[in-house]
A and B are shown apart, each in its own frame.
Chain A
Amino acid sequence: ADVEESSKPLFAGLSDISISEDIPVEGDISVPIGSQNADNDLSTLDEPVKDTIMRDLRAVGQKFVHVMYPKKSSALLRDWDLWGPLLLCVTLALMLQGGSADSEEDGRPQFAEVFVIIWFGSVIITLNSKLLGGTISFFQSLCVLGYCILPLTVAMIVCRIVLLGSSGGISFAVRLIVVTASFGWSTFASTAFLADSQPANRKALVVYPVFLFYFVIGWMILTFSPSR
């Protein structure tokens, strides 16, 4: 009711106002030149491609170093990216392609199978650690698991070099040692990052699937044999 009473004089007065040229309208409309501050983050579109690639490569390389020397740093978790895992996954899958004496459709693990196993294994481990009450996010966990495949990829390269020489019992022993060491390294590196985000008494429950995952990948590497 109060609102209606005070609005009546307002509405009543509106009909008397007419806009004429007598009332000066002046002011200053100008756009400050410094408003391009908001564009600074988006201006990476204008930089040369070399800069973009080098920046990303440097970030990936830095994370590789973190994996090879797993200290308790949070760099891997803070700025996660999936370039490194993609690179490693593709390299591993390509190298596992190389040799099949009988080149029928059922030869070595196909590229797609290695890819699918690595990515779906990572997804399942991530879901498992989240369901067990982990505080790590989905993509951070994928990032860590993907980067920790690096030792196994190095082992794959070493195995291929060893297989170039001989393929007898000694080479098998050497390959076994190399793959076992790198598998242990991978598991240790990933638990150094993942286990911190779990409640203390459940670390074993999270480490076990990671162990299985790298075991399967290690087994694929160990039983790889090139064609003649």
Chain B
Amino acid sequence: MSEPQGSKNTNTEPWGGFDDNIIQGSNSAVIDMENMDDTSGSSFEDMGEMHQSMKEEEAVAAEAEATEEDTGEDGEFLGMKGLKGQLGRQVADEVWQAGKRQASKAFNLYGNIDILRPYFDVEPIQVRSRLIESLIPVRVINFPQKVAGELYGPLMLVFTMVAILLHGMKTSDTVIREGTLMGTAIGTCFGYWLGVSSFIYFIAYICNAQITMLQMLSLLGYGLFGHCVVLFITYNVHFHSLFYLLWLAIGGLSTLRMVAVLISRTVGQTPRLILCGTLAALHMLFLLYLHFAYHKMVEGILDTLEGPNIPPIQRVARDVSVVANTVVNATIKTIAAIVQTQ
């Protein structure tokens, strides 16, 4: 019974050490891979997860000790008598314990919202200053620029953009597909934020840029502030030229800021070009798409607003028939007059 105590001592390596489930033997024979962290072991989220799982391992090992001692004594006491029943019960017990351990480990690892708590630790003044900074490109690019790893601002900006998109879509009563438009708006905004962040993070990984996923999410999220401003203005004031001006000015500024931050964290001309070209293209094209995808609807709505009560097709048909009738009548009268005079 000294083996479980030995397992506690071997977890002294900073990266968590190997899990000693093999030595104990009665538990699963699979090595728990989640303690063997290979990437940046110094980033906060990885350390938090490791501490969490190490605590869990200790608690679980203590629990396993206690249950093993109990079931061991029972087995010895009963001897050969209730072997089958006892064995069956033991196996079922082991399966239940293992399942409960796995489930509670998984839940504490993923369902614990305290993991996200450090990313929401902001003050309103910080959020405001970061919003304004997102439109100001940095000058210094030979020194890695600091990127705040925060998720409150980006999340709120994505939701604001959803609200602005809904406002832009619902400018008249005759909007069809209103129900699915809500799902489309949410899907578009979240899909852009999460999808493009992951894609750019992947390219940054290839191009050897020094940026983490959290920082990329935060950077792109704050870059949506420019989009929100432009969309808010142009959904209320429908001028093409104004939109193009704002697209270049504000969209360009926020893109330049993101590009400058990424350049400052990348080495080499070609990687910088690839990374920043991709990001600039995607960011600017997204704003263009958001404006024009709902622009036709706006134009169509403006047309229908002029004649709300008269369906245009019927009006044209009536006019045609009236005109045709008068023409026919006029020709018959003239023919009759000509015939009469002759």
Q: Is A212 an interface residue (CB 8 A)?
A: yes
Q: Is A205 an interface residue (CB 8 A)?
A: yes
Per-residue interface assignment for chain B, residues 78 to 110, with 1 indicating a CB less than 8 Å from any chain A CB and 0 otherwise: 000000000000000000000000000000000
Please measure, in the bound complex, the distance between the C-alpha atom of A219 and the C-alpha atom of B177, giving whole angstroms. Answer: 15
Given A132-B120, A202-B124, decide whether A216 and B166 contact each other with a Cβ distance below 8 A. Answer: yes
Please measure, in the bound complex, the distance between the C-alpha atom of A102 and the C-alpha atom of B174, giving whole angstroms. Answer: 10
Say how far A179's CB is from chain B's closest CB, in angstroms.
Answer: 13
Closest to A138 in B: B113
Check A106 against B127 for contact (C-beta < 8 Å). no
Please measure, in the bound complex, the distance between the C-alpha atom of A108 and the C-alpha atom of B163, giving whole angstroms. Answer: 17
**4 interchain residue pairs of minimum CB distance:** A106-B177, A131-B120, A109-B179, A223-B170
Given A109-B182, A113-B183, decide whether A205 and B175 contact each other with a Cβ distance below 8 A. Answer: no
Please measure, in the bound complex, the distance between the C-alpha atom of A216 and the C-alpha atom of B123, giving whole angstroms. Answer: 25
B residues lining the A interface (CB < 8 Å): 113, 116-117, 119-124, 127, 152, 155-156, 159-160, 162-163, 166-167, 170, 173, 175-180, 182-183
Please measure, in the bound complex, the distance between the C-alpha atom of A216 and the C-alpha atom of B163, giving whole angstroms. Answer: 6
- Contact for B170 among A127, A128, A204, A219, CB less than 8 A: A219
Contacts of B163 in A (CB 8 A): 212, 215-216, 219
A-B contact pairs, 8 of them (CB 8 A): A106-B176, A107-B176, A109-B179, A131-B117, A215-B163, A219-B163, A223-B173, A223-B178
Contacts of A225 in B (CB 8 A): 173
Say how far A146's CB is from chain B's closest CB, in angstroms.
Answer: 19
Given A131-B116, A131-B117, A216-B163, decide whether A205 and B178 contact each other with a Cβ distance below 8 A. Answer: no
Check B170 against A205 for contact (C-beta < 8 Å). no
Q: Is A201 an interface residue (CB 8 A)?
A: yes
Per-residue interface assignment for chain A, residues 168 to 209, with 1 indicating a CB less than 8 Å from any chain B CB and 0 otherwise: 000000000000000000000000000000000110110011
Please measure, in the bound complex, the distance between the C-alpha atom of A102 and the C-alpha atom of B177, giving whole angstroms. Answer: 10
Say how far B323's CB is from chain A's closest CB, in angstroms.
Answer: 30
- Contact for B124 among A102, A109, A204, CB less than 8 A: A204
Please measure, in the bound complex, the distance between the C-alpha atom of A109 and the C-alpha atom of B180, giving whole angstroms. Answer: 7
Q: Is A110 an interface residue (CB 8 A)?
A: yes
Check A106 against B173 for contact (C-beta < 8 Å). no
Say how far A108's CB is from chain B's closest CB, in angstroms.
Answer: 6
Contacts of B123 in A (CB 8 A): 201-202
Contacts of B120 in A (CB 8 A): 128, 131-132
Please measure, in the bound complex, the distance between the C-alpha atom of A130 and the C-alpha atom of B116, giving whole angstroms. Answer: 11
Closest to A205 in B: B124
Check B170 against A107 for contact (C-beta < 8 Å). no
Q: Is A154 an interface residue (CB 8 A)?
A: no
Contacts of B176 in A (CB 8 A): 102, 104, 106-107
Please measure, in the bound complex, the distance between the C-alpha atom of A167 and the C-alpha atom of B308, giving whole angstroms. Answer: 11
Check B122 against A205 for contact (C-beta < 8 Å). yes
Given A109-B179, A117-B182, A212-B160, decide whether A219 and B124 contact each other with a Cβ distance below 8 A. Answer: no
Of listed A131, A212, A215, residue having the most chain B CB within 10 A: A131
Check A107 against B179 for contact (C-beta < 8 Å). yes
Beta-carbon contacts under 8 Å, A107-147 to B = 107-110, 113, 117, 127-128, 130-133
Check A219 against B166 for contact (C-beta < 8 Å). yes
Given A205-B122, A223-B170, decide whether A106 and B182 contact each other with a Cβ distance below 8 A. Answer: no
Check B179 against A113 for contact (C-beta < 8 Å). yes
Please measure, in the bound complex, the distance between the C-alpha atom of A78 and the C-alpha atom of B160, giving whole angstroms. Answer: 32
Please measure, in the bound complex, the distance between the C-alpha atom of A201 and the C-alpha atom of B125, giving whole angstroms. Answer: 10
Contacts of B124 in A (CB 8 A): 201-202, 204-205
Of listed A106, A117, A201, A223, residue having the most chain B CB within 10 A: A223
Please measure, in the bound complex, the distance between the C-alpha atom of A76 and the C-alpha atom of B42, giving whole angstroms. Answer: 44
Closest to B122 in A: A205
Contacts of A208 in B (CB 8 A): 156
Given A204-B124, A219-B167, decide whether A109 and B178 contact each other with a Cβ distance below 8 A. Answer: yes
- Contact for B159 among A132, A167, A212, CB less than 8 A: A212
**Given A108-B179, A133-B121, 10 further pairs, Cβ under 8 A:** A106-B176, A107-B178, A109-B179, A128-B120, A130-B113, A202-B123, A204-B124, A219-B166, A219-B170, A223-B170
